[in-house]
């Protein structure tokens, strides 16, 4: 069996899919997107195709090593995302060739269901509480919220008061038997993060995500030691090496993105590394159906899984859903906040290829928002 054809599809709202076909007709799908840089990753996949066409798709590790180490320049968001989507597609092919879900090829399932969390949005505490109540009514047992909009380096007491009010409202809506995660999104300076965390401890967040920008990963120990709240990072870290500094700092949760951090192959290794530190995985996935399907295969196979992100309800995707690109949507049915283990071969989904090709004619050129402070300087989004 050889790889015969590789195609990419930029589809709304902001995703990139890759289709890898073998000479005997097996098709594997991956999602090699980097939000705001889809065209760049698409070009990287095209360059990598020269290595892949004619290769044995079942030599996943050899191809991963070749794509990762075969060039003089390595790693980084773009290259790691391109490799991630290709890796997903190769595992999809391997599972379909074997007639088994990918998680069985990774050692078999260690759980029967995977817990998800939903997103909540709102400017005021009341709006956030209503959104959390709506998620609770659907059966979600955990939600995540943004901590704030743009922040100054050391912002005002009023800003901190609003943060506390917002979190308090969501905690009340979720109850003490539900979970609330708070995404700082790298918007907080180190002093603002440390000042905020002690104020949030009474609400027992599940975790605080990305309290500082990834460039300050080496300062994470200062954050970890300032609070009892579990600290989570990793969506902008792309390899085991990147994660090592965070693990050494004592973070409780890693959040590698299977479309950015080298795919199933590398995230499986990241999970093993985290396990040696007593840390857990909550894979980052504000993306499409293929990325989520890849995440679920990992989630069912690793012992140190915590909870899974998914993009239903995310504010960038209004009017669209990752379910739009699937033939059978039942594999993502959420019951009591969890999804059941997929039994179909490969990544466990059937992509609606006709719909993908139709949507790719529309395409997208989604860009990350750019925020500015009142003085005109750039703010972290």
CA atoms of 321 and 285, how far apart (whole Å): 13
206 vs 344: CA distance, rounded Å? 32
Token look-up 């499986």 returns 268
Q: Which of 109, 260, 284, 364 is catalytic?
A: 284
Give catalytic status of residue 109 as yes or no: no
Lookup: tokens for 219: 């300062």
Neighbours of 225 (CB within 10 A): 11
Q: Any bridge partners for residue 5, and if so which? A: 21
Phi, psi of 41 (to 5 degrees): -65, -35
185 is catalytic: yes
Return d(Cα 250, Cα 12) in angstroms, integer: 38
Rounded to whole angstroms, how far apart are CA atoms 329 and 327?
Answer: 6
- String of DSSP letters for 87-112: HHHHHHHHHHHHTSBHHHHTT--S-S
Residues 224 and 218: their CA atoms lie apart, in Å, by 11
Catalytic residue among 62, 109, 185, 260: 185
Nearest to 149 by CA among 128, 129, 118: 128
Bond into 13 cis (ω within 30): yes
Query: What secondary structure does DSSP assign to 135-204, as a single string?
Result: HHHTT--EEEEE--SS--TT--HHHHHHHHHHHHHHHHHH-TTSEEEEE-TT-S-HHHHHHHHHHHGGG-
Residue 7 CA to residue 19 CA, distance in Å, equals 5
Q: Which residues of 10-48 are buried (b: 16+ CB within 10 A; e: fewer)?
A: bbebbbbbbbbbbeeebbbbbbbbbbebbeebbebbeeb
- Which residues are tagged catalytic? 185, 284
């Amino acid at each position: 069996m050889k790889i015969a054809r590789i195609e990419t599809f930029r589809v709304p709202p902001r995703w990139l899919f890759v289709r890898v076909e073998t000479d005997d007709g097996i098709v594997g799908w991956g999602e090699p997107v980097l939000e705001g840089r889809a065209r760049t990753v698409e070009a990287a996949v095209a360059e990598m195709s020269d290595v892949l066409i004619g290769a044995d798709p079942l030599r996943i590790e050899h191809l991963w090593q070749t794509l990762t180490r075969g060039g003089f320049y390595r790693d980084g968001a773009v290259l790691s995302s391109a490799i991630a989507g290709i890796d997903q597609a190769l595992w999809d092919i391997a599972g379909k060739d074997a007639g088994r879900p990918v998680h069985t090829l990774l050692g078999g399932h260690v759980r029967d269901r995977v817990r998800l969390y939903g997103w909540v949005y709102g400017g005021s505490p009341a709006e956030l509480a209503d959104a959390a109540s709506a998620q609770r009514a659907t059966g979600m047992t955990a939600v995540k919220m943004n901590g704030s909009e743009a922040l100054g380096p050391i912002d005002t007491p009023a800003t901190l008061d609003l943060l506390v009010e917002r979190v308090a409202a969501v905690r009340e809506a979720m109850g003490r038997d539900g979970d609330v995660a708070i995404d700082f999104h790298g918007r907080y300076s180190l002093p603002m993060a440390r000042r905020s965390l002690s104020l949030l401890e009474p609400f027992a967040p599940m975790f605080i995500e990305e309290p500082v920008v990834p460039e300050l990963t080496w300062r994470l120990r200062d954050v970890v030691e300032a609070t009892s709240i579990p600290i989570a990072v990793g969506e902008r870290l792309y390899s085991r090496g990147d994660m090592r500094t965070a693990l050494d700092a004592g973070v409780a949760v890693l959040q590698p993105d299977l479309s950015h951090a080298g795919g199933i192959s590398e995230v499986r290794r990241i999970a093993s590394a985290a396990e040696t530190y007593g840390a857990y995985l909550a894979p980052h996935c504000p993306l499409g159906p293929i990325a989520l399907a890849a995440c679920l295969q990992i989630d069912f196979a690793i012992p140190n899984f915590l909870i899974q992100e998914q993009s239903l309800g995310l504010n960038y995707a209004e009017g669209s859903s990752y379910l739009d690109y699937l033939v059978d949507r039942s594999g993502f049915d959420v019951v009591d906040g969890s999804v059941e283990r997929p039994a179909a071969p490969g990544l466990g989904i059937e992509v609606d290829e006709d719909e993908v090709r139709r949507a790719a004619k529309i395409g997208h050129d989604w860009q990350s928002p750019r925020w500015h402070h009142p003085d005109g300087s750039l703010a972290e989004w």
